[in-house]
Chains A and B, each alone.
Chain A
Amino acid sequence: MQSQLPLYPEQASNFAPPIDALMIFITSICVFFAAGITIAIVYFFFKYRRKTPDDVGIVTREDSRLEAAWIVVPMILAMVMFSWGAVVYVDYRHTPSDTLDIYVVGKQWMWKVQQPNGLKEINELHVPVGRNIRLILASEDVIHDFFIPAFRVKMDVIPGNNHYNTMWFRPTKPGRYHFFCSQYCGTNHAIMGGWVTVMEPTDYAAWLSGSGAGGANPVVAGEKLFAEKACVTCHLANGTGRAPSLNGLYGAQVLLAGGTTVTADEAYIRESILQPNAKIVARYEPLMPSYQGQLTEEQILALTAYIKSLQSQPVPVQGAGVAPAGGGETAPATEKR
């Protein structure tokens, strides 16, 4: 397990062991040189410290063999590093032929994933363990980069129809791992991330066909709706969007524009969706479109269930829809993170 201060992320793909090995190899060479030079400097520094003010150093003979040695030895070591790195890289850039293809589209600032059977996810990626996965990456606007530290892989996501990248990996360990956007792409670059879920192949198959936890669960359905109906585009989890973050909303006190507060219960959430302008959250514009007639009753329930599930998510300090506790500056649920 990971210690409190780990030195490397979890190893969860076929690329993690070779890349970590490479890291250790290069580190040892570099430590060797850095230590050697430091020790030499410090030693000379004390050993040859000037004794008298007009002391002059002894002229040492230059030796071209010495010069040659410290050209050739680093050169050889460098070539070893290069070759080893090249092997790993070529492997990474050369996708095997038996991959499971998943489409990933980046846009400011979210990831849309499409599973082979057409199932769509937002900021989530489910993959089976042990299969070679190929991600086909495209961008709708600027350059992004899909980065999974636990897998040690990343690849830029380039806009334009004549240019898209692919990346591949083979997850080796079930679990949930962070993925990030690691090419700077504008305001919310930092929160353009999510989770990769590595599942046992049977679980994955069940998940895909929707018979597993996913399909019937209103929270999951709500999460999907939340993305599909574009709620996410305004309601960013970290509160930097045009609309308040809904994290921790359910059950909390909401400060309205008039200065009054209201408890965010199911009715309030329902009203907010269907008649958004009935109660306007303080500090926000009445931007939200009404979803009256666009959502079935079942969908509203699913959305409500999803919003309720966000109760356990961290509430951003700024931009939460919930009222400050007791007039203080921080939101009540902040400590939950």
Chain B
Amino acid sequence: MSEHSEHIVSPKIYVAIFLVLIVGTSLTVWAAFQNFHQFNIVIALGIASVKASLVVLYFMHARYSPKRTQLVIVCAIFWLAIMLALTLADYRTRQPRASGLISPTGVYYA
């Protein structure tokens, strides 16, 4: 219960992380103006996730935290993933609409 001889992260690391975050921000803005087609979203979220991980690992000291704290973080991500994945699973596998039907309320579905 008393495992923490507190790890003190040096300001150098903080500043380095900060710089990386700023670079990441610039990168994502730059990328937004390029067209990578279906990868646009992947790149944007990829960069965001790297940035977020850096914040969690260094600014929030998760890298140096006890296992239990790390488990808590993993749980959060895991449950968020459950929610997103299973809901999207429904949306992505809905039967394609029968085409050529006129809706009873009068709108045409292609």
Contacts and interface: CB of A to CB of B under 8 A. Distances in A.
A103 B98 contact: no
A161 B104 contact: no
B97 to A, nearest CB: 8
Contacts of A140: 105
A166 interface: yes
A103 B98 CA distance: 14
Contacts of B107: 161
A148 interface: no
A115 to B, nearest CB: 12
B105 A136 contact: no
> Interface on chain B toward A: helix, strand, loop, or mixed SS?
loop
B103 interface: yes
A164 B104 CA distance: 9
A251 B98 CA distance: 51
A104 B105 CA distance: 9
Interface in A163-222: 164, 166
B101 interface: yes
Interface string A109-137: 00010100000000000000000000011
Chain B contact-residue range equals under 10
A23 to B, nearest CB: 27
Contact of A105 (B95, B98, B105): B105
Contact of A161 (B95, B98, B103): B103
A166 B104 contact: no
Interface string A128-153: 00000000111110000000000000
Nearest to B105: A138
A140 B98 CA distance: 20
A266 B104 CA distance: 37
Interface string B79-110: 00000000000000001001001011101010
Contacts of A166: 98
Contacts of A105: 104-105
Contacts of B95: 93
B103 A104 contact: no
A104 B98 contact: no
A89 to B, nearest CB: 13
A128 B95 CA distance: 27
A248 B33 CA distance: 72
A164 B101 CA distance: 11
A156 to B, nearest CB: 14
B92 to A, nearest CB: 15
Nearest to A104: B104
B100 to A, nearest CB: 11
Contact of B104 (A93, A95, A136): A136
Nearest to B101: A136
Interface centre among A112, A138, A140 (most CB of B within 10 A): A138
Contacts of B98: 95, 166
Interface string B57-87: 0000000000000000000000000000000
Contacts of A136: 101, 103-104
Contacts of A138: 103-105
A148 B109 CA distance: 27
Contacts of B105: 105, 138-140, 161
Nearest to A103: B104
Interface string A68-100: 000000000000000000000000010100000
Interface of A: 93, 95, 103-105, 112, 114, 136-140, 161, 164, 166
Interface of B: 95, 98, 101, 103-105, 107, 109
22 contacts: A93-B95, A95-B98, A103-B104, A104-B104, A105-B104, A105-B105, A114-B104, A136-B101, A136-B103, A136-B104, A137-B104, A138-B103, A138-B104, A138-B105, A139-B105, A140-B105, A161-B105, A161-B107, A161-B109, A164-B103, A164-B104, A166-B98
The 3 closest A-B pairs by CB, nearest first: A103-B104, A138-B104, A105-B104
Given A95-B98, A138-B105, A164-B103, 10 more contacts: A93-B95, A103-B104, A105-B105, A114-B104, A138-B103, A140-B105, A161-B103, A161-B107, A161-B109, A164-B104
